[in-house]
Amino acid sequence: MIELERVTKRFGEVVAVSELSLRVEAGEVFALLGPNGAGKTTTVKLIAGLLRPTAGRVRVSGYDLLSQPLEVKRRLSYIPDQPYLYDKLTGREFLEFVGRLHRLDGATLSRRIEQLLELFDSVAYADELTESYSHGMKQRVVIASALLIEPRVIVIDEPMVGLDPRCARLVKDLLRERARGGVTVFLSTHTLSVAEEVADRVGIMDRGRLIACGTLEELRRLRQTRGSLEELYLSLTAEAEGDLDG
């Protein structure tokens, strides 16, 4: 579960996120949408503990992110939009490093690494230095490392960047599968088709504010239309921009 209570994040005079209140339940896939500069990545980093809120509270699995950060980190995996690996480690060594940080025992760690390498079709290059990897290869290893610890919460920024269609399909299926097992999945994306396909609910941000939130059907009722998510998104963000400009 993820809970944000009136969360605000300022960078100097710039308000990146403004009084955001949101609750994402266990077993739910939630997609956060919005134009560039809307505050999506800032929100993701606030949930992942990479940024501290200027005001408000963030809780993950019932633990306060500021006062109980280690309890949160034990339960949460974060997948950034750019896959960062250690160039002088192999893919397998990186997975071992992550597993040992989370104190997985040797047998469990070895078994999970082999399973994930096979699942992501990464065995062939697992023992090569990651500095030689393509973007897509790095992304596969980063996603595998996130699943390695069997988290209760998965936070992803642009999950499909750099993935080929087969791997993108695999990731979508894995997210839905994890959610069915009670995992909370929070993803930020520009790809509306991904949100429409995998998310139980979507939130739309614009200029740091959450301007709409709900299932696709709830958003359709809000706009009194049977339109696609793309049509709803364009309508809501255009209206919000007009309100702010006015």
On whether residue 51 sits in a domain, the answer given is yes
Beta-carbon contacts of 83 under 8 Å, excluding residues fewer than 6 positions away, are 135, 138, 139, 141, 142, 162
Handedness of CA 4, 7, 9, 15 (dihedral sign): positive
Does residue 119 form part of some domain? no
Instruction: Report how many domains make up the chain.
Output: 1
Q: Which residue has the tokens 């699995």?
A: 61
CATH of the domain at 7: 3.40.50.300
Residue 226 covered by a domain: yes
**pTM, two decimal places:** 0.91
Q: Find out whether 47 and 4 touch, Cβ atoms under 8 Å.
A: yes
Q: pLDDT, tens digit, for every residue of 7-24?
A: 999 999 999 999 999 999
The pLDDT-based confidence of 246 (bands split at 50, 70, 90) is very low
Q: Which domain holds residue 224?
A: 2-80+153-245
Q: Amino acid identity, residue 129?
A: L
What average pLDDT does the structure give for the chain? 93
Question: Residue 97 domain-assigned?
Answer: no
pLDDT at 242: 53
